[in-house]
Structure formats: C-alpha cells, structure tokens
C-alpha cells in the first residue's frame, strides 16, 4: 500500500492542468529505507517544479495526519536544505517558491505558503513546528480540492489563476 504522503504527491501531480509543465524531482535511493550501503546522498532542493506561464513554482509538498509540520529537532519533517533552496529561489524574477501543506486530519485542507512567509514565521517564533492556524495567519493560500472515490483532485488551475492577484 502506498503511503499517504506519496498518494498526496501523486494526486497533486494528476491534478496539474495539461497546459502546465510539471517535473517531479527524483528522490535519492537513500530516502527509501536504510542508507548504510549508500556512499553519498543527493538531496533534492524541493519536490517539484510547476511552470504556468509566466511563473515557475518551486514547491516542497508536505502532508500530515497530525496537526503540524516540524522544522527543528533530530528528525524534522521540513529539512534545513529545503528551506535554504526555496529561500535562494526568491532571488530570481518569476520564481514563486514555497510549501504546499496538506493537512489530512482533522480539516482535510491544503495550503500554499510562500517561503518568505514561512521564514517570517520562523523568525518570529520559538516554536519548532508550524500548524494550520500559523499557516493561515502567515498568509497561506488555500488550494481547493474535491474527494473523488478514494483520491483527491486539487484545483491547481484555480490556484495558479488566483495567485496572479496576490503577487
């Protein structure tokens, strides 16, 4: 059975409109199971690229059954290199970097949070994780979705089109 995080990533990809370019950056072999036999680890900067003229979205997709996404501690859900890569992407015109947070329970909502807003949150708090209320408070854009039979369809076109009004 596929884990729910991967199922979210697959549903997100399947929801991308045909006129948009989507590229899922491949995970290294060490991200699956033990890394003892792996000599080095290639760490991807983020999960995927979504291009919808004229914008390039650099996205890290996160999904949780819990109530928050940790970014500090020994095993954070949001890794330091992901924050760094998304932050570096800000320097380029037309790139919109951020997190797509999928809160499976209890609200079953999905949000886009720009990396600038995430960084503002981390600089203003002593917390080691970000929850749904924090995501909303720091300016997240909700990405609508609809449950089909088992999987969700995400309204990516609406997200892209509505995003133009936010910039």
DSSP 8-state code for residue 107: T
- State pLDDT tens for residues 29-68: 544 444 454 455 567 899 999 999 888 999 999 999 988 9
pLDDT at 34: 46
Confidence tier at 161 by pLDDT (50, 70, 90): confident
Q: Where do the structural domains in the chain lie, given as residue ranges?
A: 4-26+42-163
Q: Which helix (H) or strand (E) holds 137?
A: helix 132-137
Tell me the H-state helices in 21-114. 80-88
- State pLDDT tens for residues 93-128: 999 999 999 998 877 899 999 999 999 999 999 999
pLDDT at 35: 46
Q: What is the pTM of this model?
A: 0.86
Question: What is the C-alpha separation between 87 and 128, in angstroms, rounded?
Answer: 18
Q: Is the pLDDT of residue 3 over 90?
A: no
pLDDT at 165: 54
pLDDT at 41: 55
Confidence tier at 151 by pLDDT (50, 70, 90): confident
Q: Which is it for strands 55-64 and 152-154: parallel, antiparallel or unpaired? A: unpaired
Q: Answer with the residue of higher pLDDT: 87 or 148.
A: 87
- Cβ proximity of 121 and 130 under 8 Å: yes
pLDDT at 106: 77
DSSP 8-state code for residue 126: -
Which two three-digit tokens encode residue 55?
A: 């914008």
Q: What is the CATH number of domain 4-26+42-163?
A: 3.40.1350.10
Q: Which residue has the tokens 């002593």?
A: 126
Average pLDDT value over all residues in the chain: 88
């Amino acid at each position: 059975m596929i884990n729910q995080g991967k199922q979210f990533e697959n549903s997100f990809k399947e929801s991308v409109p045909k006129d948009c370019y989507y590229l899922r950056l491949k995970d290294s072999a060490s991200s699956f199971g033990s890394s003892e036999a792996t000599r080095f680890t290639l760490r991807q900067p983020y999960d995927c690229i979504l291009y919808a003229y004229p914008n390039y979205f650099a996205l890290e997709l996160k999904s949780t059954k819990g109530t928050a996404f940790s970014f500090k501690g020994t095993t954070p859900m949001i890794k330091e290199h992901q924050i760094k890569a998304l932050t570096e992407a800000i320097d380029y015109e037309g790139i919109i970097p951020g997190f797509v947070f999928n809160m499976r329970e209890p609200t079953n909502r999905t949000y886009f949070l720009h990396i600038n807003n995430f960084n503002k949150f981390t600089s203003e708090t002593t917390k080691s994780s970000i929850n749904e209320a924090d995501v909303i408070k720091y300016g997240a854009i909700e990405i609508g979705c609809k449950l089909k039979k088992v999987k969700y369809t995400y309204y990516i076109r609406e997200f892209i089109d509505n995003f133009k009004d936010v910039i």
